[in-house]
Structure formats: C-alpha cells, structure tokens
C-alpha cells in the first residue's frame, strides 16, 4: 500500500473547501470515511489541521501577507493553501518542529508540480518563523473592525453586522 501523506490529504481538502466552496463538514466526513484505515491519531491530525486552517484562514492570510512578496489572493490556489496549512502548524500546533513543517511543505510543492515555487514556499514559511516574536495584529484603536476580522478570523461583513447591533 502507498504511503499516505496527511498534509497532502489536508491540502486537497482545503482546495475543495476554500477554493471550490464545498462545505467543510461534508469534505471532512468524506475524507475520514475514505481513510478509515489510518490510525486514530493520524485521522485526528488531519481533522485538526483541516478544521483549524479553515477556521483561521483570514488570520493566516494576513500573517502570510506580512512576509510574502506576492499577496495571498494572487498566489496559485495550491501554493496559497499549502502556505495556509503550513502556517497553521507553525503558529498553532507547537508540538510539530517548524523545520519539519518547512521541509514537508517544500517536498509537497515539488511533488505537486511546483518545484519552481518551492523556494518561495520555504522563504515565506521561514520568514513567518523568524518574525513571529515581533508580529503584531492591526491596530485595535485605529480600525476596530479590521482588528476583529484578523484577530478572530471573522469575515468583515459579519464583524460589521455585529458592530452595528
């Protein structure tokens, strides 16, 4: 049996959810059913990484944009989502060594036909790691709505709706 790459599974899930607009719970259930043979721990990793990345994608995009030479919205969908899931691991899953996250992301970019962009992926992730201590969110006083959108990864329309009430 072929070795299963959990990060690649999550990457495909994110492409379905964030690029194709499929419902996250549907994609997650289908994927977990497809990979029932995986150990419980591996399935839990897939679930946490997928759900966490989807929940925090606005915050992750903001963070990626602070270090990338190309805005997230202009990146190729596969690269955009590879950076999102990798940034999530770096920022929110402390038990995973950051060097392993970078290495796996570069290997996955190459495997999926983006060898020329693997250096970009590595540079962005290493910049996130390097600048993490001095990273700041948008100014809460200057633009409270934007701060809430980024800090809590909530769409701007929902923040505006909540602030109007």
Span of 76-85, 101-110, 126-135 with lowest mean pLDDT: 126-135
Residue 139 tokens, joined? 């100014």
| pLDDT tens, residue by residue, 58-80 | 999 999 999 999 999 999 999 99
Domains, the chain: 6-131 (1.10.940.10)
How many Å is the maximal CA-CA distance in the chain? 55
Instruction: Evaluate if residue 25 carries a pLDDT over 50.
Output: yes
Average pLDDT, the chain: 95
The pLDDT value given to residue 165: 85
Looking at residue 115, what DSSP letter applies?
G
Residue 138 neighbours by CB under 8 Å, 6+ apart: 62, 146, 147, 150, 151
């Amino acid at each position: 049996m072929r070795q299963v790459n959990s990060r690649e599974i999550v990457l495909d899930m994110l492409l379905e959810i964030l690029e194709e607009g499929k419902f996250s719970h549907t994609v997650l259930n289908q994927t977990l059913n497809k990979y029932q043979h995986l150990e419980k721990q591996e399935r839990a990793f897939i679930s946490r990484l997928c759900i966490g990345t989807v929940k925090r994608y606005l915050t992750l995009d903001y963070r990626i944009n602070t270090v990338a030479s190309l805005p997230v919205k202009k990146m190729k969908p596969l690269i955009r989502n590879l950076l999102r899931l990798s940034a999530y691991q770096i920022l929110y899953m402390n038990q995973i060594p950051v060097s392993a996250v970078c290495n796996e992301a570069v290997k996955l970019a190459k495997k999926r036909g983006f060898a020329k962009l693997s250096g970009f992926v590595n540079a962005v992730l290493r910049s996130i790691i390097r600048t993490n201590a001095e990273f700041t969110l948008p100014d809460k006083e200057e633009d409270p709505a934007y701060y809430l959108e980024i800090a809590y990864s909530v769409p701007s329309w929902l923040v505006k709706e909540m602030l109007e009430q």
